[in-house]
Amino acid sequence: MSATTQHTLAGSAKIEGTSLHTGQKVTLTLKPAPTGHGFKFRRIDLPDQPFIAADVDKVQTVERATTLAEGSVKVHTVEHLISALTGMGVDNALIEMDSNEPPIGDGSSWPFVEMIKKAGVVAQDAPRKVWEIREPIHQEMGDGTIISIFPSKTFRVSVTNVGPDGRFTQYFTTEVTPQTYETEISKARTFVFYEDVKPLLDKGLIKGGSLESAVVIRGSEVMSKEALRFENEFARHKALDLIGDLMLSGVRILGHVIAVKPGHGPNTRMAATLKAEYARMRAMVPTAVSIPDGESVLDINEVMKILPHRYPMLMVDRIIDCRGENTCIATKNVSINEPYFVGHFPGHPIMPGVFQLEAMAQVSSVLMLRKPENSGKIGYFMSADNVKWRRPVFPGDTLFIESEVLKQRGSIGQTRCRCLVNGQVVSEAELKFALMDR
Active centre residues (catalytic)? 264, 344
DSSP strand E in 286-397: where? 318-323, 327-333, 377-389
Bridge partners for 414 per DSSP: 407, 432
CB-based contact 175:156 (threshold 8 Å): yes
CB-based contact 377:308 (threshold 8 Å): no
Across 24-60, b (16+ Cβ under 10 Å) vs e yields bebebbbbbbebebbbbbbbeeeeeeeebbbbbebbe
Q: Using CA atoms, how far apart are residues 397 and 92, in angstroms rounded to an integer?
A: 31
3-state secondary structure of 231: coil
Calculate ∠ Cα 351-422-138, nearest 5°.
80
DSSP strand E in 377-423: where? 377-389, 398-409, 412-421
Those residues with Cβ within 8 angstroms of residue 395's Cβ, 6 or more apart along the chain or in another chain: 334, 335, 336, 338, 341, 349, 351
Per-position DSSP letters for 286-304, written without gaps between them: PPPP---SSTT-B-HHHHH
Running DSSP on this structure, what letter comes out for residue 183? I
CB-based contact 104:29 (threshold 8 Å): no
